[in-house]
Structure 1
Amino acid sequence: MKKNRLLRYLLILSFICTNFLADRYANAQSYKDAASLYSLQQKFVDLKFGMFIHFNIPTYANQDWPDPDLSPAVFNPTKLDCDQWAKAAKSAHMTYGCLTTKHHSGFCIWDTKTTDYNVMHSPLKKDVVREFVNAFRKNGLKVMLYFSILDTHHRLRPNHITPADVKYIEAQLTELLTNYGPIEALIIDGWDAPWSRISYDQIPFEEIYEHIKSLQPNCLVMDLNSAKYPAGALFYSDIKSYEQNAGQHISKETNKLPALSCYPLQQNWFWKTSFPTTPVKDPQKLVNDDIIPFNNAYCNFILNVAPNRDGLIDDNALAALKKIGELWKDDGNYPTLPKQVLPIISHNLAKNKFAESSWSDDMNIMDFGNDDDFGTSWISNYEVKHPWYEVDLGKMQPFNMLVVTEGGKPVINKYRIEYFANNQWKPLLTGDDTKRVKIHRFETVKGSKVRILIDDFSNTPSIAEFGVYDEKR
């Protein structure tokens, strides 16, 4: 394994030194313009309905998470036909497809130079990503790609991430975003999720995000992180993404964010031997319960269809897609997305730092207000008339954004933010944002502590997360 890892690092260094360094940041500024990002988000929502395609080495293991050292020799779709996939998507009036370029076990289905664990070392010896993008574009469909940060074959696991691992990820993303034409969106998985545990600190989100945008400024970045982050803001994602079968459900009544909801047509994400004889989900229910109401709630619906080991979509899935196309088509109604603020992408300086507060019960003390867990909260004692919450950053440092997420239904009406510098507290801003997630961007200041003074509230205040950020601008 050490020899393989050394070889991988040498391949990465070689790749980085020979590809696109001169103009990496040539177009990197447009994504920092809220109006430009809003336009891309509106276009994404307007796509309405697409096909997720889970097709990778798990297809041949009868498990979604196979042995990470499964031999490439098993990957052999002898009848691979991406044109069939595209025509099936068209039959359902889908507008795009998204393919799993690399899942959690690390097998790459494109011609990558970063690792030998790829499709070119399988019996197929054909770039599946190339076949996919060519077929979908030929059929008038847009192209998106899925990419997993968690990579168990290459031992990219929590608490074992090195700088070379980050460069490895960047090299793979460079290949995907420079060799296959315009990519509408990149769906990222296995990152800062409760089950993957690879944090945005171990693999820095802002660095990867800027790397993607430097290569394709118009590529939307989605991280499947709704298991952790609340619905009130775009935390580490250009699009709020929900995985329905994992219990993540968008509010069709209250959502105001550009969103994506994903769901498998069959029982699982990847093909199983039972699929050809197992009923798929009811097309009528998918239309009435998902496509139509989601589209009316600024949410794009992506339905997963898993090709079989021949590289073809099974007959029962083809029939369901055709039936969806008979029941639904784009009605030309495109609800105008509410104006958006830029997503939160930077490192939280307040995470797990020493905190103080006014009186709270022992089970809800200040430590819960910046523990990187939105399921826990600091809760003021109900007798406190002027509650406050404070985080010590540990040293003087610059910051230019603050995000206060209340612990439940919003009750804080008016508040002040102050920062500590030169041995005194200085006023920063006065707020009256009554949403659960309160985002404030401002000119950079330097301080060693930050606090919120809560002046008006309708019930006992609580703070799930108090975030302080030095955002690159």
Structure 2
Amino acid sequence: MPTLTKQAKTGRVLPPKPFGPVPTQRQLRWHEMEFYGFLHFTVNTFTDKEWGYGDESEAVFNPTDFDANQIVKAAKEAGMKGLILTAKHHDGFCLWPSQYTEHSVKKSPWRNGKSDVVKEISEACRRHGLRFGVYLSPWDRNHADYAHPKYLTYYRNQLRELLTNYGDIFTVWFDGANGGDGFYGGAKEKRNIDNTIYYDWENTRKIVRELMPMAVMFSDAGPDMRWVGNERGIAGDPCWATLNAANRYPGGTSDGLNSGERPGTDWIPAECDVSIRPGWFYHAKEDARVKTPAQLLDIYYQSVGRGADLNLNLPPDRRGQIHENDIASLRDFRRILDATFAKDLARGAKLTASNTRGAAKQFAPKNLLDQKRDTYWATDDNVTTPELVIDLGKPTTFNVVSLREYLPLGQRIDAFALDRWQDGRWVEFAKGTSIGNRRLVRGDYITTAKVRLRITQATVCPALSEIGLYAEPGLPKH
């Protein structure tokens, strides 16, 4: 079967053609983050609720020792690359002094109504090198006009405020909870909306594209990344980055969200959102129920390790700080991750591939070990199930294998397998399906001098940008 690997006139080896949907630049920037955090903080923090009714007095919001630096430092030390703040949750209380409502921090006794949580968190993020994002609940149980056309103008005005007054915004997070009972300016009734048309999402999203072109938008339906379908932080296996977006909308069906859809019409990868505590907002009764480092590690490997991004919620307490128990768990979690990925045991190994695209250096297997996302190993167009051998030169012990595809060319690999050299023959120790942004294969410790990667199914030639071997701390001595 002929290939189109070389350009006829010049003999230059051409890169593979993209396959299926591919990520935008804003999505690629988001993929590189991998791990960031949520900050659920509002009147609910002080009423001990998860969802406020909308009738809460502004006087309720009164943190005793708010410290944006403490919050952001806790996130940074955990390895997070950004933070998303609930600027307005379903209760309608605004953490910034919006000019469009009095139901905000400007009517709170906190610092005599002169402060702005959004401003302080966004500035602290910039100081500490983290990106900043906003959650703006479409549902508003406080506003008198909710479920009427006038509310959409109010909502869009607030969206513009957040996207013009607080610097770069990396994401706008649109929740799928829409409609129900609420205060609604004193009406105290149940209001339902048709969430397929009420928010006029096409034009609402245009505001984000206009004011913050690199911001990714989250919802059940994307358009940039999708909900993973649960609040446990667990991606499916497989978890494809593609989805069929037609007829999907925020608050719509969850079918296909956990695993993605292949083939899919749109690149809408998964975000795994989960709280470090049972609840999304701080509750003192949950101080002893913070997820352990081991639980956080399991979530990490089942989210980031399945090609998704992890959004871990850290709810500030009534002081306006991250609780000590949360910080202690995060530090141990980070310590173990750092120790695991500090050394790639495959660095310096000899790589031998069954095929290299056009026999060209630019597509050689050595690219897999250079720790660069923009270089990759590829094969000729007609070679879709190649093999790669990693010769470590000596017996080496590991229990984590890291793989990445070169995302600008799409998600190309359908299935793979990993073998170890044992007693003069190859023995399979793992296999999987989707790779995408990252696949972390975590298992029992293995000691071997050679590892083989087999691409067992692909419609087109693979383009792989990374392979790495790692050992979690506490490995047995040999």
Q: TM-score by structure 1 length?
A: 0.58
Contact 1:144/1:184 (<8 A) preserved: yes
Alignment of 1:161 with 2:161, yes or no, is no
Partner of 2:103: 117
Q: Paired residue for 2:124, among 93, 118, 135?
A: 135
Opposite residue 309 of structure 1, the aligned amino acid is R
The 1:167/1:340 distance shift into structure 2, 3 A limit, reads: farther
1:65-84 equivalences in 2 (<5 Å): 65-84=51-70
Q: Paired residue for 1:282, among 292, 302, 307?
A: 292
Contact 2:233/2:303 (<8 A) preserved: no
Opposite residue 40 of structure 1, the aligned amino acid is R
Opposite residue 200 of structure 2, the aligned amino acid is P
Partner of 2:237: 252
Q: Which runs of 5+ in 2 are unaligned?
A: 1-19, 182-191, 243-268, 343-370, 372-401, 412-478
Partner Cα separation in structure 1 for residue 64 and residue 282 of structure 2: 16
Partner of 2:89: 103
Partner Cα separation in structure 1 for residue 210 and residue 23 of structure 2: 14
Partner of 1:220: 216
What's the % identity of the aligned pairs?
29
Alignment of 1:337 with 2:407, yes or no, is yes
RMSD: 2.7
Alignment of 1:203 with 2:212, yes or no, is no
**How far off is 1:275 after superposition?**
2.8
Q: Paired residue for 1:52, among 20, 24, 38?
A: 38
**How far off is 1:268 after superposition?**
0.1
**How far off is 1:149 after superposition?**
0.1
Partner of 2:283: 272
Opposite residue 129 of structure 1, the aligned amino acid is V
**How far off is 1:319 after superposition?**
0.4
The 1:309/1:317 distance shift into structure 2, 3 A limit, reads: same
Contact 2:234/2:303 (<8 A) preserved: no
Partner Cα separation in structure 2 for residue 270 and residue 69 of structure 1: 18
Opposite residue 276 of structure 2, the aligned amino acid is L
Contact 2:234/2:302 (<8 A) preserved: no
Opposite residue 94 of structure 1, the aligned amino acid is M
Opposite residue 101 of structure 1, the aligned amino acid is A
Contact 2:36/2:310 (<8 A) preserved: yes
**How far off is 1:130 after superposition?**
0.3
**How far off is 1:193 after superposition?**
8.6
Partner Cα separation in structure 2 for residue 171 and residue 71 of structure 1: 23
Partner Cα separation in structure 1 for residue 101 and residue 95 of structure 2: 11
Partner Cα separation in structure 1 for residue 229 and residue 320 of structure 2: 25
Deviation per CA, 1:220-261, whole angstroms, max 9, x where unpaired? Answer: 1111x2xxxxxxxxx34210122533x785323242242210
Partner of 1:321: 330
Partner Cα separation in structure 1 for residue 216 and residue 310 of structure 2: 16
Opposite residue 302 of structure 1, the aligned amino acid is N
The 1:319/1:64 distance shift into structure 2, 3 A limit, reads: same
The 1:127/1:80 distance shift into structure 2, 3 A limit, reads: same
Partner of 1:399: none
Opposite residue 150 of structure 1, the aligned amino acid is W
**How far off is 1:198 after superposition?**
4.8
Query: Which 10-residue stretch deviates more, 177-186 or 214-223?
Result: 214-223
Q: TM-score by structure 2 length?
A: 0.57
Q: Paired residue for 1:297, among 301, 306, 312?
A: 306
Partner Cα separation in structure 1 for residue 409 and residue 196 of structure 2: 27
1:12-27 equivalences in 2 (<5 Å): none
Question: How many residues get paired?
Answer: 293
Opposite residue 133 of structure 2, the aligned amino acid is M
Q: Which runs of 5+ in 1 are unaligned?
A: 1-33, 226-234, 342-473
**How far off is 1:339 after superposition?**
5.2
Partner Cα separation in structure 2 for residue 283 and residue 56 of structure 1: 27
Contact 1:298/1:335 (<8 A) preserved: no
Opposite residue 244 of structure 1, the aligned amino acid is N
Q: Paired residue for 1:261, among 272, 289, 307?
A: 272
SS in 2 for 1:328: helix
**How far off is 1:47 after superposition?**
0.5
The 1:266/1:273 distance shift into structure 2, 3 A limit, reads: same
Contact 2:233/2:274 (<8 A) preserved: no
The 1:38/1:138 distance shift into structure 2, 3 A limit, reads: same
1:375-386 equivalences in 2 (<5 Å): none
Query: Which 10-residue stretch deviates more, 202-211 or 34-43?
Result: 34-43
Partner of 2:24: 38
Opposite residue 308 of structure 1, the aligned amino acid is D
Partner of 1:146: 135
